[in-house]
Homo-oligomer: A and B are copies of this chain.
Amino acid sequence: MPRIGIIGAGVAGLHLGLLLRQHDVPVTLYTDRSPHDLATSRLQATVAHHAPTLQREKDLGVHFWPDAEYGYTCHHHYVGGEQPLRFRGDFTRPSSAVDQRLYLPALAEAYENQGGDLRVGRVEAGDLTTLADRHELLVVAAGRSAFSPLFASRDAYSPFREPQRRLCAGLYHGIRPADPKGVTLSIAPGHGELIEIPLFSRDGHVSALLFESVPGSGQDVLNDLSYEEDPALFLRAVRDQLAARHPDVFERIVPGEFDLTGPLDLVQGALTPTVREDFARLPNGRYALAVGDAHTVVDPIVGQGANAASHSAWVTGEEIGADLALDELFCRRVAQRRADVVLGAAQWSNFMVQPPAAHLLELLVAMSGCQSAADAFTDNFGHPDRQWRIVATAERTHAFLERHGAALPPAAP
């Protein structure tokens, strides 16, 4: 039975670890932070899980947050401009968002209960030889591990040299939920986006606000303020940005209750989207496979990171169970099977952080008048491969709208 080593205990590492334990495969998970430390740490991300990911959680026996209470069913869209657009898209099956500081420790406990070995401690570059000899396959599932340099960046899928958005993500009290309960995707042309997510944290049902700000834009002011230095000033700035650019969220603020849920419930930063090689041959002839952030880092603008990571972990686990060896052919097979979803997520996310293509604007306008197109677009947050096939070119977007009977934009002369 192969002994699998996994570096990183995020969504990818834990989903893979749990799947392997279901098949009685011996597995060791290396993480630099204990579940307890993670539970009490600063917010790292605001993550929604879509239906395919929730299905995997059900299959793994770790769907601890029933959809009826924790799920949501739609996306509310707002696109600012002279004539603002508003429309809603419904999911076929619910999505949900749970604070990773609750989610990951609960999954780590389930993993250990199922016989998984969890080792807490920093993995250094110098440990590679030891770990490569100890395991028949190393799965690198952490974006910032000492082993990340094993996987070279792939230029064809990594068009940016620097972040395209600056991020300010926090958990807030005092925002009434949207009705029906759902995520609000609010676009402020020239400034960026706001993604408001109904999220469950240790404070209960709260609102996550993820500001995706174009560097140097008015909205980007949020990244130059420190909540800890001056909470009132920071909160006023958030309110001001909501009032100026995201009215559909602003109007749900409850006066006197609006506040961050805690000083650790805020993260400000930025990342450069990058797709890396799928695998690397180790000095001893064995292989290391990249999954999750070690393989693709996407801007969170359309919430694809965790879902793609879970998909990638699932494919990896299925192939470990099915294949006869953990060699280059195995790695190529995993790469081939996950490519559509994982690269689709990366390409769609990259498309969304670029200056908006004319056909993206056409799509938004058309969806505001065509419910079935809006629903399909929304459901595709769980199917980034399908979404990318819709937005990749103007011709594809037009064909998609035509299939849904949506009003097409006037043809170019």
Chain A residues with a Cβ under 8 A of chain B:
323-325, 327, 329, 333, 336, 339-340, 389-390, 392-393, 395-396, 399-400, 403
Contacts and interface: CB of A to CB of B under 8 A. Distances in A.
A403 B1 CA distance: 11
A408 B35 CA distance: 44
B395 A329 contact: no
A399 B339 contact: no
Given A324-B389, A329-B392, A336-B336, 10 more contacts: A324-B390, A324-B395, A324-B399, A325-B393, A325-B396, A327-B393, A327-B396, A329-B393, A329-B396, A336-B340
Contacts of A340: 333, 336
B339 A336 contact: yes
A25 to B, nearest CB: 14
A327 B389 contact: no
A396 to B, nearest CB: 4
A287 to B, nearest CB: 13
A216 B329 CA distance: 35
Contacts of A323: 389
Contact of A329 (B324, B325, B389, B400): B389
A399 B327 CA distance: 12
Contacts of A390: 324
A324 B395 CA distance: 8
6 contacts: A324-B403, A327-B396, A329-B389, A329-B392, A336-B336, A336-B339
Contacts of A333: 340, 389
A403 B325 CA distance: 12
Give the 10 A-B residue pairs with the shortest CB-CB distance, closest first: A324-B399, A324-B396, A325-B396, A325-B395, A329-B392, A324-B400, A325-B399, A324-B389, A336-B339, A336-B336
